[in-house]
Amino acid sequence: MGFGYVLGSNRKLAYNLAVIDAAFYSKQDFDKIGKWEQQIEQEAKRLNEMRLKDDTLIERTRVAFSTMAGDE
């Protein structure tokens, strides 16, 4: 049995995630697991790059209020 938690109420997405979870934690050898792992790693890398890009943008636009008031 697998578990699939998703934000919102997308039952199909939750079901698909539960199937993948069950496959990963079963004792059987599934051919698709290697492909899934590659896709998961690629997506994790893409999400990390997006977060770094967002963090860089936020850091560039951050205001130091102490310098605005002349307090150094």
- CA–CA distance, 59 with 64 (Å, rounded to integer): 11
2/18 same-domain check: yes
- Report the predicted TM-score, pTM, of the whole model to 2 decimal places: 0.58
Q: Are 36 and 24 in the same domain? A: no
Give the integer Cα–Cα distance in Å for 72 and 70: 6
Please report which confidence band the pLDDT of residue 48 belongs to, taking 50, 70 and 90 as the band edges.
very high
The answer on 54 and 42 residing in a single domain is yes
Residue 34 pLDDT more than 80?
Answer: yes
- Number of domains observed in the structure of the chain: 2
Per the prediction, the chain carries an average pLDDT of 85
Q: Is the pLDDT of residue 9 over 80?
A: yes
Domain assignment present for 57 = yes
Q: How confident is the model at residue 71 (pLDDT cuts 50, 70, 90)?
A: low
> Does pLDDT of 16 surpass 80?
yes
Range of the domain at 8: 1-28
Task: Specify the DSSP element, H or E, that contains 68.
Answer: helix 65-68
Residue 68 lies in a domain: no
